[in-house]
Amino acid sequence: MNKLPKKMSGVLLTGHGGLEKLEYRTDLPVPIPENDEVLIKVGASAVNNTDINTRVGWYSKCVKEQTDAGAVDSFQTINEDDASWSGIPVKFPRIQGADCCGEIVAVGEQVSSDRIGERVLVRTLQQTVMTPAEYSCITYGSECDGGFSQYTKVLATEAFPIQSFLSDAELASFPCSYSTAENMIDRANVKANDTVLITGASGGVGSAAVQLVKRRHAEVIAICSENKKEQLYKLGADKVIQRGLNLLNSLGKNSVDVVIDLVAGKQWPELPELLRRGGRYTVAGAIAGPIVELDIRTLYLKDLSFFGCTYQSRAVFENLIRYIERSELQPLVAKQYSLLEIKSAQQDFMAKNFVGKLILLPSQ
């Protein structure tokens, strides 16, 4: 630690609200790792929905609006007591950033010094010693400081060594989106020859899901805007449907085995109708609006299974590391920004005019 700087640059989220709540600083203290932690020099991070949702307070049950309007910076009414994904108030100021690729530069007393110099990815959804119960977890960058800084610290067990020729920016595109997608696919037990419908397929999680479903040799039907269709075909989608079209007219009832949903919203009632008997629906997002209408008879008469997906077992991230190291996945870096440009990056993220991930590089 003696050779490391005492201060670093980073972005503080100072409260719920608009972009003005993001404060770029150059005088933040470099974290000191506890006994079981490692200190990481951040190579790259990325923008995710959870960063925006937490900042604007969208997770509060008071909020009924969608998150994909683009210009949304804040809502008229939120309850700060439940305005985080976990329902526990966020402790401000907070350094966000659910993605992190970097290098271990220091370790706590209980961690082998052999780990110094390791290139690592940080697991986004962590089941730590503080949250041992099943389905209890924390999100890196929400309940603890994340990757929007020059240095970050995590439990040694949550920094996963990675062997890859990919750049830091490319590797930083994986942790949050791809682990979310793999978890949904795993929970829904996607198998070879299944027909899988993916909503919001051009986003970070959606584009990850296209690749991860294809590696299981299942058929992908992707939904996205018209101007992104060709990119989805290049990723491996077997069929692409323009967002907003009537899905029942396009595909017919009882036509898919699995729905991977990241959108919800007004069109949601079509999704259970699309599922075959015994079909599986899995969800990890609601960018078109969190309130939907369900005819409960469809659920039980068709023997459907519904999976809400947040908690991830450790095996999900271990599998993701293996896929990356075997070059089975294609990183999708749409654009790179310096951390100083975080407000522009989040504005571009909310406009949704890209496929893949927007990457943030720390100031050097």
Distance of CA 303 to the CA centre of its chain: 29
Task: Give the bridge partners for 260, in sequence order.
Answer: 198, 282
> Which token pair is 275?
């599922």
- Count CB neighbours of 335 within 10 A: 14
Regarding beta strands 22-29 and 7-13, do their DSSP bridges make them parallel or antiparallel, or are they unpaired? antiparallel
Residue matched to tokens 């450790």: 314
The answer on pLDDT for 272 being more than 60 is yes
pLDDT band at 136 (very low <50, low <70, confident <90, very high): confident
Distance CA(301)–CA(3), nearest Å, equals: 65
End-to-end CA distance of the chain: 18
Distance CA(268)–CA(247), nearest Å, equals: 10
The answer on pLDDT for 73 being more than 70 is no
Which pLDDT does position 133 carry in this prediction?
63
Which pLDDT does position 65 carry in this prediction?
76
pLDDT band at 64 (very low <50, low <70, confident <90, very high): confident
pTM value is 0.94
Among the listed ranges 47-51, 191-195, 273-277, which one has the minimum average pLDDT value?
47-51
Higher pLDDT, 2 or 122: 122
Distance CA(270)–CA(268), nearest Å, equals: 5
Which pLDDT does position 61 carry in this prediction?
77
Distance CA(316)–CA(219), nearest Å, equals: 21
How do residues 164-177 score in pLDDT, each as one tens digit? 999 999 999 999 99
Among the listed ranges 126-135, 188-197, 332-341, which one has the minimum average pLDDT value?
126-135
What is the average pLDDT score of the chain?
A: 93
User: Smallest Cα–Cα separation from 202: which of 55, 357, 10, 19?
Assistant: 357
The answer on pLDDT for 187 being more than 80 is yes
Among the listed ranges 86-90, 117-121, 323-327, 349-353, which one has the minimum average pLDDT value?
86-90
The answer to whether 107 and 113 are in contact (CB under 8 A) is: yes
How do residues 114-131 score in pLDDT, each as one tens digit? 999 999 999 999 876 555
Write the secondary structure of 155-194 as one string of H (helix), E (strand) and C (coil).
EHHHEEECCCCCCHHHHCCCHHHHHHHHHHHHHCCCCCCC
